Chain A
Amino acid sequence: MISLRSPFGWVLRLMAVLTFIYLLGPLFVIVAASFSDTGYLAFPPQGFSLRWYRQALGDVRYLNGFFVSLRLAGTVAVLSLVIGTAAAVALTRFRFPGRALLEAIFLSPLVLPGLVLAVALTLFYAAHPVAPPGLPRLIISHLLVGVPLVLRVMLPVLKRVDPALEEAAQNLGAPPLQAFFLVTLPALKPGLFAAAALAFIFSFDEVEMALFLGSARDAPLTVVLYGAAQMQMDPTVAAVSAMLILLALILMVAQQAYANR
């Protein structure tokens, strides 16, 4: 181990601490500013008030946006989980030619720019309206990233589960499907939770496809926030942001708690 007591170690440490502040400081700033008692965004905050929270929670656009996002992310998480896990099972439990290539292809939307996907989908739907505009269109579009996210989590999890478990269950009299549900699925549980959380948070946070494909009536929260942030430095945006940070924190802690159970 490179000694942390050496001068070099101290330089490394100092850089790490500054990086940490740079990384998390802005989130702290926004939470602090949301409590400010001023009519404009102020940091350090002046006074303490919850008026911006009251304003945010009373604003139909934010409320509506939140529930749209919730419906969007919830549906995307469930669908991605089912579709992605099924594909992951096929890719790990069956042997067929081109399996590795198929895996790479399925994961490829993750490394391509979200905006390009969004533009291509916009042009696609204009020519082929395969789904009603608004939320349904956005939901199926988010699957394009949600499914690969689930695959990326579930593939290594499935590879770690001993295939002999399912064989043992079959040997003891369980038909293949029953063997999967009785034995493999319980072993996958922590992975499933993490995968669903990831797909949920992606869909909840995503803005590019939402801007391109969502309708004004069903605008997800990120789109409402994006619009509001462009207009003016409104403390209400800070209050909504702070609540979203809290939500992310809760989700992350829940996921960790579940994984370490």
Chain B
Amino acid sequence: MHASARRGLVAAGLLAPAALVFALLFVWPQLGLFLQSMPAGAPLAQYERFLGDSYYLGVLGNSLLLGLCVTLVTLVLGFPLAFLLARAETRWAGLLLLLTSFPLWVSAVVRSFAWMVLFFRNGVASRLLQSTGLVESNFQLIGTFAGVVIALAQVLLPIMIVTLYAVIRGIDRDLEHAAMSLGASPVVALWLVTIRLARGGILAGSLLVFSLSVSAFATPSLVGGARAHFMAVTIYEQTLELLDWPFAAAIAAILLAISISVALTYGRLLGDAKEQAR
């Protein structure tokens, strides 16, 4: 056999298992999901039901708002830490980065449970709030929107930090030196040079966290409790509790559409960010 033909066969053989996994478990089920969301006769009925019901629109709005809040919190908290880690010259920096990403090794269920411990009526965080007198004496953070934001932001923070860290590392620190030698104060140098150059990466990290928060399940359902009106929790209820599969498929398709559009933008931005950092 011709050598190049043989090489082609080898490549195809190596790719085949992954392609099979992908086609069988991804392409086919996702297509099935769309098909099931559009039953014959009334293809758009399930979507009309979702978009025409103020309750479900509220769920969608809730999830989008959650995404927005979590993204903001992780960005504001993540940037200073990522910046310091990226610019630190000690050998502790590596260890600190490792500790920062450690929560990613722990299940979201465990991490959400930790927040439940802090948030329930007698938990430290809830009692702290009760003692300020701003809330009622039997107030608990469990089941509140704020509670879900706090917990989910902590769950997703490592992802934001790791993304930002990589981008900031890619920016030549001499650029900050140059700006300061030309008379910029540290704050101005950070604003005009580092943040400006890291813009693509900041956006990319934000989109990733946004996409993950909008579709998050474990944390909203555990910390949000019975009143957690979020997209993923609703899909879960429709699929496993109400067994309304066409409707569940339609909601999942809407969530998928949001994620795909965010992912496409994300991919483009990350490419641009790499281009800029060069």
Contacts and interface: CB of A to CB of B under 8 A. Distances in A.
A247 B154 CA distance: 20
Interface string A9-20: 100110110111
Interface centre among A41, A124, A204, A212 (most CB of B within 10 A): A124
B84 A27 contact: no
Interface residues of A, number: 89
Nearest to A80: B21
B252 A119 contact: yes
Nearest to B112: A229
Interface string B95-118: 010111011011111111111111
Contacts of B211: 111, 113
B185 to A, nearest CB: 8
B84 A13 contact: yes
Interface stretch (B10-18, B40-48, B131-139, B195-203): B10-18
Interface string B15-41: 101110110111011101100100000
B237 to A, nearest CB: 11
Contacts of B232: 113, 115, 208
A251 interface: yes
Contacts of B263: 108, 111-112
A225 B14 CA distance: 38
Interface in A1-39: 1-3, 6, 8-9, 12-13, 15-16, 18-20, 22-24, 26-27, 29-30, 33
Given A43-B118, A233-B120, A252-B102, A1 B235 contact: no
Nearest to B105: A248
A20 B14 contact: no
B80 A24 contact: no
Given A2-B87, A248-B105, A29 B114 contact: yes
Contacts of A94: 7-8, 10-11
B266 interface: yes
Given A111-B259, A245-B106, A229 B245 contact: no
Given A19-B78, A87-B14, A212-B240, A26 B256 contact: no
Contact of B25 (A20, A44, A143): A143
Contact of A9 (B28, B32, B186): B186
B15 A90 contact: yes
Of A2, A33, A40, chain B has the most CB atoms within 10 Å of the CB of A2
B239 A19 contact: no
Interface residues of B, number: 90
A95 B96 CA distance: 40
A26 B124 CA distance: 11
Contacts of A30: 110, 113-114, 117
Counting from the closest, the 10 A-B pairs by CB-CB distance are: A113-B215, A26-B114, A205-B107, A87-B18, A124-B29, A90-B14, A120-B29, A248-B105, A94-B11, A15-B80
Interface of B: 7-8, 10-12, 14-15, 17-19, 21-22, 24-26, 28-30, 32-33, 36, 77-78, 80-81, 83-84, 87, 89, 96, 98-100, 102-103, 105-118, 120, 122-124, 154, 157-158, 173, 176-177, 180, 185-187, 189-190, 208, 211-212, 214-215, 217-218, 221-222, 232, 235-236, 239-240, 245, 248-249, 252, 255-256, 259-260, 263, 266-267
28 contacts: A8-B185, A15-B80, A16-B80, A20-B100, A22-B77, A23-B154, A26-B111, A40-B122, A86-B18, A90-B12, A90-B14, A111-B208, A113-B214, A113-B256, A116-B256, A117-B29, A120-B30, A120-B32, A123-B33, A123-B245, A144-B26, A208-B217, A208-B232, A225-B110, A245-B106, A245-B110, A248-B105, A249-B102
Given A114-B217, A119-B33, A123-B29, 18 more contacts: A20-B96, A27-B103, A42-B122, A83-B18, A86-B18, A93-B11, A105-B22, A112-B263, A113-B212, A115-B252, A117-B29, A123-B245, A204-B107, A207-B107, A226-B222, A238-B117, A241-B113, A245-B110
